[in-house]
Chains A and B, each alone.
Chain A
Amino acid sequence: MGKSKKLLFGIVGVPPLAVMAELAADGSTIVDLDEPQGKIDLETASPFLPRVYCGILRTVIANSLTIKPDVIYIDTGAGKCDCAVHTATVLEDILPQTTIIRTKNQDSTGFGTPLCKAKMDLVDKMSAITSGVQLITPDDDIQPCSPTAGFWGVPPRDFSLLSFFPDTTHIYGWARCMENKTPDNIEMECHYNPDIPTVFFAQSFCAKTALARHLANKHPYALYLDCDVTAGNSVKAKIQAFLELSGVKV
């Protein structure tokens, strides 16, 4: 790493803790490429990825093309998805000045999941989980609450769909694995609470739609939901109606 220029790092998925610790030790600037960054036009990605493709990985391509990080760590293991494997190949070809480093996060030491169980606005809670990817020490100072609703799935491309849930919503699925820093943990990913109404969410065109729908079918009070880039009226209405008709106080 050169001393004259501070490198800009991009991350996709949850890179292994050792990688994040190294970046933290260097005081590196890190951009989470999975998340929308400012007003970057998603169509920037369209020449390189099909429009009918995971909205998060389209976001990765659009962010990468616009921000042009010096180095991108992209997790391509089972803790992310097959689509990320191919996205890494695309990134290598379209950003020759950027070093693309593929990782396979198989960390198995749990950090705990206090945020997922906390009483907190769900948008803020999910934001804390996604920004927590860059933390290398666990936060134990958060008390759990008794859940009244559940959100199972990945952090959505459009966080606005989380705004309809009560503060007492517990988070399950891959987002919980994310907070635990064990993204390749299928047992934790499949866990849900059958006693609370739960929305099983996946991004449209993501392989996790199969697991989301499968688990929703097993859960006694569940709504399966998929959403592409932005949450339209029907997505929002489904969440609102499901929670209201399930007797959840929002």
Chain B
Amino acid sequence: MLLADFGTSYCKLLETDSGEPPTLTPTRDLDRKSIKVDIATGHNGKRYATTYINELTALAKGGLSLIDEPSFTLLDCGSRDIKYVIYEDGKIKDMGWNAECGASMGFTIELLEKYYSIDFANLPIPKSSFSITCGVLGMSHIFDAVVSGESEAEAVAKFVKGIALNAYNFAKHPEKIYLSGGLCDNPLFVGSFPCSVVPLGRFVLLEGLQASSAPSAR
């Protein structure tokens, strides 16, 4: 069975019968004319799938499958949006999906990384941050800071920390966050949260699709 999480920037694919790990393909490289999968989630996923599961459901089911705790907060930071689910005593407590204000975070971070040739693995976590509500609006802070004499790297680091704090507040500022999405691989972003962070990687939604297809799904 072929499962797919169609992200805005990257598509995650898993062939469950192959025994191979999931693969990551830039969404722009997808062969949109011929691709057909069995179960999909994500942006435009309905077009290419027999069965579609919405992102929040896939995220929640992925969390239930991967996290062995009855109460948890799982936050997914994608290219264009952020979403979270909160479970308490095994029951869904709250959820949110921000695709408007608070959007374009992952996309903007990747854009800045390339534009300024920044290696996030070697960037120290700044003490302060910019007050940021979304990736697009936050860009002006960077340009203002650079004009004021700050280094580009410092300014971008404050921007990334501001985005992390915004995502943390959006998820109702928990003591511990399970993090999903490509930003799990960004140490500056992960380290900027003012709480304990457990990165789960890019494939949490795929895990949720797999759990949905399994008869014994929790």
Contacts and interface: CB of A to CB of B under 8 A. Distances in A.
Main secondary structure of the interface of A (DSSP, over half): helix
Contacts of A245: 57, 60, 85, 92, 95
Q: What are the 8 closest A-B residue pairs judged by CB atoms, nearest first?
A: A241-B56, A237-B54, A234-B97, A245-B92, A241-B57, A234-B99, A237-B56, A245-B60
A143 to B, nearest CB: 31
Contacts of B54: 236-237, 240-241
Contacts of B92: 221, 242, 245-246
A202 to B, nearest CB: 15
A124 B96 CA distance: 27
Contacts of B100: 234
Interface of A: 221-224, 232-234, 236-238, 240-242, 244-246
B60 A241 contact: yes
Nearest to B43: A233
A238 B56 contact: yes
B55 interface: yes
A232 B83 CA distance: 15
A241 B100 CA distance: 19
Interface of B: 54-57, 60, 81, 83, 85, 91-100
A148 B81 CA distance: 31
Contacts of A221: 91-93
8 contacts: A221-B92, A221-B93, A224-B94, A234-B99, A236-B54, A237-B56, A245-B57, A246-B92
B95 A241 contact: yes
A119 B100 CA distance: 35
Contacts of B97: 234, 237-238
B60 A234 contact: no
Nearest to A245: B92
A85 to B, nearest CB: 27
A234 B95 contact: no
A221 B87 CA distance: 11
